[in-house]
Amino acid sequence: MADPRDPKTPAPTDLSQKFMSEEEVENHRDDGHYTVVSDIKVAHGKVPKFLKFVYVGLAAWGLYYALAASPINDRTEASPSAAPTAEAGAEVFSTTCAGCHNPTAERKIGPGLLGVQQRLGDKELENVLHNGRPDKGMPAPPSLNLNDNQIQSLKLYLTSLKK
């Protein structure tokens, strides 16, 4: 404690003794009031209502995302163990074949593949899907890194493109 008799210690003033009036102190205890700190309104121990919704919403979304998200591999490639499906075939088609083929009748680099199974029949379709027609610019799908499962999925998908 500074010695009040020490001449270097300034005499106590009203200001230093009471920087808040009784009324101000009372306001601070009241939950309904806020203090302004650096121009920001700060309530006493209260989280603004809309922020509570934001927090709860974010938590719920995070939980939903954690539970519902499937690993990215399941979405982009047919896993070898899964049964072939037309949906998986459609996905393989869009990444591997769509650069050269439309799923419609319209020609691209190769013929449009609408109704291709009806046109070629199962046997020739299988043949093209396994061996391609390398001499005519159709690569053999296994050379495009497709496995049997993906080729079967492609066959289901192409068969679904009926005229």
Nearest distance from C-beta of residue 61 to ligand HEC, angstroms: 37
Tell which positions 39-78 bind ligand HEC, by CB under 6 A.
Answer: none
Mask: binding to ligand HEC, 137-156, rule CB under 6 A, as x and -? xxx-x--x---------x--
What CA–CA distance (Å, rounded) separates 13 from 10? 8
Q: Does 107 bind ligand HEC (CB under 6 A)?
A: no
What CA–CA distance (Å, rounded) separates 59 from 95? 35
Tell which positions 116-135 bind ligand HEC, by CB under 6 A.
Answer: 116, 119-120, 125, 128-129, 133
Nearest distance from C-beta of residue 70 to ligand HEC, angstroms: 24
Q: Are 151 and 131 in contact (CB under 8 A)?
A: no
Burial track 18-56 (b if 16+ CB lie within 10 A, e otherwise): eeeeeeeeeeeeeeeeeeeeeeeeeeeeeeeeeeeeeee
SS3 34: strand
Q: Does 88 bind ligand HEC (CB under 6 A)?
A: no
Q: Are 74 and 82 in contact (CB under 8 A)?
A: no
Question: Contact region for ligand HEC (CB under 6 A) — 7-15, 31-39, 46-54, 136-144?
Answer: 136-144
Binding-site ranges for ligand HEC (CB under 6 A): 96-97, 99-101, 109-111, 113, 116, 119-120, 125, 128-129, 133, 136-139, 141, 144, 154
